[in-house]
Amino acid sequence: MKTVLVTGGAGYIGSHTACKLIENGHQVVILDNLSTGFKSVVPKDAVFIEGDVGDSDTVTQLIETHGIEDIVHFAAHLLVPESVAQPNRYYKNNVVASQNLINAALAANIKHFIFSSTCAVYGMVKTFPVDENVSMQPISPYGRTKCVTEWSLQDTNTAIQSGYIESDFKYVALRYFNVAGARPDGKLGQVTENTTHLIKVCAEAVLGVRDQVTIFGTDYATADGTCIRDYIHVDDLAQAHLDALDYLQKGGSSDVFNCGYGHGYSVREIIDVMKKVSGVDFKVIEGQRRDGDPPAIAADNSKIKTKLQWSPAHNDIELICRTALDWETKIRN
């Protein structure tokens, strides 16, 4: 089996994917600067290197030392509200660092590159669910940073196809919808301080870590007035990365895929599910809209199911909420 470099492997989705790669026989090297990640979630069988993905010397050296052939690139800042307040931090970490990594990958003849993208590249979508052909019109700095890196990968691929760049480099960009939940075996979950993500926020409210949940906007043009999102279980998302690598290794061409289940839940519905699975009637208040939030989005996932044979195993909102809560309970005790 080949050695895979996982950037951001000490983060939420990165650690779940690294774990799954190892369980499927891959060797894994993790590069993470621990700015938001945690050493405690790094799988014990992975080689861990503390450093920045934007540091070309570190990346070039570790590719050579560990015989890296494939890269899965997670390391990024990923909070919409934070990106609105600190755009330049997001451009530096998500755009500049990713570009350095892509350049180092090209120079080192890396063949396969999986990029963590996001449904935030779509912005205010008019179609529900949205497919990959809809043009990217992000409405938040976070979405724009991911869009720029997707364009860079797309332009690199075009230059390779046209013979301007001589390289075997191919990429898959996975556009994540709303990732949540934890491994059902309790081994891994999300460790994030000051979370802003709805399902984790609700789990913290169940446990009394926070006094209440605020609904950000109740006047959207949706059935109950609150935003609709397509929540995908983290383990199904991790599997999508293995499927994407397999696809490229078998000769698949560069492409972009949505990762979601194809249906959405409103903020109020998520709150109700969390109350149901926990049996706790935590306090909920109605607040103002949050900047950068589109009203409703869900993934048309027919492309990933057809081309990557992705077959999700945890498409169950109660399971997603329950595993998130079980994990939260575990790390708070």
Active-site positions?
142
- 244 belongs to the binding site for ligand UDP (CB under 6 A): no
Residue 201: name the closest of 315, 316, 81 by CA: 81
For ligand UDP, the binding residue among 290, 303, 305, 307 (CB under 6 A) is: 290
Per-residue binding string, ligand UDP, 55-94, x by CB under 6 A, is -------------------------x--------------
Interface with ligand UDP (CB under 6 A), residue total 15
- 204 belongs to the binding site for ligand UDP (CB under 6 A): no
Shortest distance (Å) from residue 5 CB to ligand UDP: 26
Q: Are 327 and 186 in contact (CB under 8 A)?
A: yes
Give the dihedral sign, CA 194/199/200/204: positive
Burial of residue 63, with CB atoms counted within 10 A of its CB: 0-12 exposed, 13-18 middle, 19 or more buried? buried
- 229 belongs to the binding site for ligand UDP (CB under 6 A): yes
Q: Are 12 and 190 in contact (CB under 8 A)?
A: yes
- 196 belongs to the binding site for ligand UDP (CB under 6 A): yes
Is 153 or 215 the residue whose CB approaches ligand UDP more closely? 215
H or E stretch at 179: strand 178-180
For ligand UDP, the binding residue among 10, 104, 267, 321 (CB under 6 A) is: 267
For ligand UDP, the binding residue among 243, 293, 300, 328 (CB under 6 A) is: 293
Shortest distance (Å) from residue 135 CB to ligand UDP: 20
H or E stretch at 255: strand 255-259
Q: Are 226 and 218 in contact (CB under 8 A)?
A: yes
Q: Are 67 and 61 in contact (CB under 8 A)?
A: no
- Region binding ligand UDP by CB under 6 A among candidate stretches 105-113, 123-131, 209-217, 324-332: 209-217
- 198 belongs to the binding site for ligand UDP (CB under 6 A): yes
Q: Are 79 and 15 in contact (CB under 8 A)?
A: no
- Region binding ligand UDP by CB under 6 A among candidate stretches 99-107, 127-135, 143-151, 197-205: 197-205
